[in-house]
Amino acid sequence: MEDGPTPKPTAKRPRHDHYIHGNYPTYYNYRYTAAQSTGDEGDPRLILIDKCLAESSCKGLAEHLSNALCLDIGCNTGTFAKDLVQKYKARRVVGIDIDYQLVTKAIRAIPKELATSFGFTTEDYVALDSTIFRDRYNAIFCMSVTKWVHLNGGDSAIHRLFRRIYAELKSEGLFILEPQEWSTYYRKKGIADHTARNYSKIELKPEEFPQYICSLGFSLITTQDPLKTGPRGFQRKIYVFQKLAV
């Protein structure tokens, strides 16, 4: 009796392991194009930040961005960092990303006339051996990064992220956070074996981030609900925290 044809292995959805940190090379192209398709110009998160700074509870906080030293965690190709300089007149923005290829693109895209306004570098911000620059920044931005930190490192990595941000902010400095919702974790949990394991052990959910952050020595100044434009996956709240005076 002859053997039949060897059955083909069950097709599996490919794992894009090289994007396990959310380091998509066309991220800003997609996000900006989605915004423009609904009539918005540029990054709609800037509109939310403007609304935050215009609230009475944020009176005087805009000065923390003007002529400021800012940090953009997970800067990708640097588009948002450039917006901070051009829109808010930040003195200098340091952008860090775990993907050296994205950082290289960010460096190459710096306009010559703004060369001194940016510093892009490759770094894992939550690495255990990270060098902490205490009381350095006037403002720190963490935009659509927390899900990837959480899936890759679990609760302990999220704790390190927020604690380092606290340490590196100057007294009364601003922390602007755009976290992904817990419901979005499920679709990405299987991107690698370790992310699936970490997902099953996560206890600190994104909706609990504000309470944890405030326990470190921050005050929650305001929250902005997302604009109801563009893909729902990009409709995320923005939180503005201020480091309490020390």
Do the Cβ atoms of 61 and 242 come closer than 8 Å? yes
What pLDDT shows up at residue 233? 54
d(CA 237, CA 227): 9
Residues 1-57: tens digit of each pLDDT: 333 333 333 334 344 456 776 544 455 455 555 444 444 556 778 888 888 888 877
Pick the CATH number of 45-243 from 2.60.120.20, 3.40.50.150, 3.30.70.100, 3.40.1160.10: 3.40.50.150
The pTM for the full model equals 0.84
d(CA 107, CA 115): 9
For residue 229, pLDDT over 80 is answered with no
For residue 65, pLDDT over 60 is answered with yes
For residue 214, pLDDT over 80 is answered with yes
| Two tokens, residue 54 | 């215009």
State the average pLDDT over residues 79-101.
Answer: 93
Long-range contacts for 195-201 (Cβ within 8 Å, ≥24 apart)? 195/20, 195/151, 195/152, 198/150, 198/151, 198/152, 198/153, 198/154, 199/151, 201/154, 201/155
Lowest mean pLDDT segment, chosen from 50-59, 105-114, 191-200, 204-213: 50-59
Answer left, alpha or beta for residue 141, where phi above 0 means left and psi between -120 and 50 means alpha. beta
What pLDDT shows up at residue 18? 64
Question: Domains of the chain: which residue ranges?
Answer: 45-243
Across the chain, mean pLDDT equals 84
Percent of the chain with pLDDT over 90: 61
Number of neighbouring beta carbons within 10 Å of residue 235:
14
- Residue of 147 and 130 predicted with greater confidence: 147
Residues 23-37: tens digit of each pLDDT: 444 554 555 554 444
Q: What are the residue ranges of helices labelled H in the chain? A: 27-36, 44-54, 79-88, 100-108, 146-168, 185-188, 193-201, 209-215
Do the Cβ atoms of 68 and 138 come closer than 8 Å? yes
What pLDDT shows up at residue 64? 78
Q: pLDDT-derived band of residue 63, with 50, 70 and 90 as boundaries?
A: confident
Q: What letter does residue 78 receive in the DSSP assignment? A: S
Number of neighbouring beta carbons within 10 Å of residue 74:
24
Residues 142-152: tens digit of each pLDDT: 999 999 999 99
What pLDDT shows up at residue 19? 72
What pLDDT shows up at residue 205? 98
For residue 133, pLDDT over 90 is answered with yes
d(CA 158, CA 206): 10
Percent of the chain with pLDDT over 70: 80
Amino acid making up residue 197: R
Main-chain dihedrals φ then ψ at residue 93, nearest 5 degrees? -120, 125
d(CA 203, CA 207): 11
d(CA 177, CA 48): 11
